[in-house]
Amino acid sequence: MRKLKQSLLSFFERLGEAILALLETIGAFSIFAGQTFRYCFVPPFDFRNLLYQMSEIGVKSIPVGVVSSFFVGMVMALQLGGPMEQQIQGISAFMGGGISLAMVRELAPVLTSVLLAGRVGSSIAAEVGTMKVTEQIDALATLATNPVHYLSVPRFLAALFCIPMITVMAIVVGILGGALISNISLDIPYNLYFESARTLVRTKDLVSGVSKTFFFGAEIALIACFSGFRARGGAEGVGQATIQAVVFSFMMIIVSDYFITYIFQLFGL
């Protein structure tokens, strides 16, 4: 009986510690996010650093998003065309609209954000984490430079603006990939494919899909920077921070996608 009580007490102690650690992390992240938002509007504005981060986060990520989206559009045409045509004769004529709608509303925004969370999130977390464990962030504070203002704000703004732009490119390229395979494999004329896309895809679909990526970009940058700032213990700590940044970014993108979509639908988007 005594051993059972001790086991239960030990279990609840560990559970309580885990809950407190989770609440502490959520609170610290909320404070960090609030500071980042606030410093976006506080001078000095480091435009050179911002342009550099836009190059690193945006320009260098274009091949990742574009190539992946192109092949996703091709795979969708291959997977859907044959089975749809077997079930309902002539249904493949609507292939363009189906692929385009899926790419615009969900596939391109979520896939691009997840891929960039792996590329950009890991890079930011590793870079900031290395600065943290080598005490470079402490040196910035010693030089009267706010670390959040100097490190987090440019990366946050770069992700906020660049990821939606890459998503637009991914949408266009994904639709073109679907058109190519639809024409080659199903003999669907290009004009019929794009006419179907024009009929089914509306402006609000594009607004809904691209608007999500502003939230996804903010999540990626904030989680990655926060993980880097909390890195401890040398190279191992940097590795752990990088893993946490990527995993939590993936989770937040998928989870927030549902809630953002639900809210958009309430407003007719």
Q: pLDDT tens across 183-215, in order? A: 887 778 888 888 888 888 888 888 888 899 999
> Are 33 and 54 members of one domain?
no
What pLDDT, on a 0 to 100 scale, did the predictor assign at position 91? 64
> Are 33 and 70 members of one domain?
no
> Are 169 and 209 members of one domain?
yes
* pLDDT, averaged across the chain: 85
> Are 23 and 103 members of one domain?
no
What pLDDT, on a 0 to 100 scale, did the predictor assign at position 1? 63
> Are 103 and 128 members of one domain?
yes
Please give the average per-residue pLDDT across 39-55, as a whole number. 86
What pLDDT, on a 0 to 100 scale, did the predictor assign at position 80? 76
Residue 92 pLDDT grade (very low, low, confident, very high; cuts 50, 70, 90): low
* pLDDT over threshold 80, residue 82: no
What pLDDT, on a 0 to 100 scale, did the predictor assign at position 26? 84
- Per the structure, the complete domain to which residue 15 belongs is given by 1-39
What pLDDT, on a 0 to 100 scale, did the predictor assign at position 87? 62
> Are 121 and 201 members of one domain?
yes
> Are 17 and 137 members of one domain?
no
More confident residue, 6 or 267: 267
Amino acid present at 42? V
* pLDDT over threshold 70, residue 264: yes
What pLDDT, on a 0 to 100 scale, did the predictor assign at position 88? 61
> Are 29 and 131 members of one domain?
no
CA distances from 244 to 135, 228, 252, 264 (A): 21, 9, 12, 29
* pLDDT over threshold 70, residue 2: no
What pLDDT, on a 0 to 100 scale, did the predictor assign at position 65? 86
Backbone angles phi, psi at 267, to 5 degrees: -100, 10
Three-state DSSP state, 19: helix
What pLDDT, on a 0 to 100 scale, did the predictor assign at position 3? 67
> Are 25 and 50 members of one domain?
no
Number of domains in the chain: 2
Class of residue 47 by CB neighbours under 10 A (exposed 0-12, middle 13-18, buried 19+): exposed
* Tens-digit pLDDT profile for residues 64-81: 888 988 998 888 888 776
Quote the percentage of the chain above a pLDDT of 70: 91
> Are 112 and 152 members of one domain?
yes
> Are 193 and 244 members of one domain?
yes
What pLDDT, on a 0 to 100 scale, did the predictor assign at position 145? 80
Q: What is the pTM of this model?
A: 0.86
- The structure tokens listed for 75 are 């795979």
CA distances from 250 to 85, 113, 166, 202 (A): 35, 9, 18, 28
What pLDDT, on a 0 to 100 scale, did the predictor assign at position 100? 86
Residue 173 pLDDT grade (very low, low, confident, very high; cuts 50, 70, 90): very high
Please give the average per-residue pLDDT across 217-224, as a whole number. 91
* pLDDT over threshold 80, residue 13: no
Question: Count of CB atoms within 10 A of residue 5's CB?
Answer: 9
What pLDDT, on a 0 to 100 scale, did the predictor assign at position 45? 81
> Are 94 and 218 members of one domain?
yes
